[in-house]
Amino acid sequence: MANTVNTRGMWTEVSAMDSDYDAGEDFPIMSIKLLPGQANDILIVKNGSATGPKVCKLESTDGEPRIEYFFGSYFQPYIDYSDCTLSANHGVVIGIDPFYRPFGRYGADPS
């Protein structure tokens, strides 16, 4: 079984994680939300790789969702599965700045 990744518009949801997740490139991140499967789920997100700097740690001691806001900070979300404690039915939602338009997909670089 592999991670389930579902992208809709400016949201990417990663669920059923059983291995590392790498976004693959830098994005202007608005928020990262942990949807825990049960109490005591812990999510650690790093920048770029398993050895990259820790960007955030979300811990749900009561089983309720947790969110951290980044207000468009650019980084490459990387989740090292071995650093996290995630129960069944968990989810992670990564919100990308709605005004983000990568030049490769939407036209030439205006500079």
103 neighbors 109 (Cβ within 8 angstroms): yes
pLDDT per position as a tens digit, 34-43:
999 999 999 9
Residues 6+ apart with CB under 8 A from 12: 5, 6, 23, 93, 94, 96
Residue with tokens 């490769």: 104
What is the second-level CATH architecture of the domain 4-99?
Answer: Sandwich (2.60)
pTM for the full model?
0.86
Can you give the residue ranges of every domain in the chain? 4-99
Each residue of 84-103: pLDDT tens digit?
999 999 999 999 988 887 65
CA 28 → CA 18, 39, 66, distances in Å? 26, 30, 20
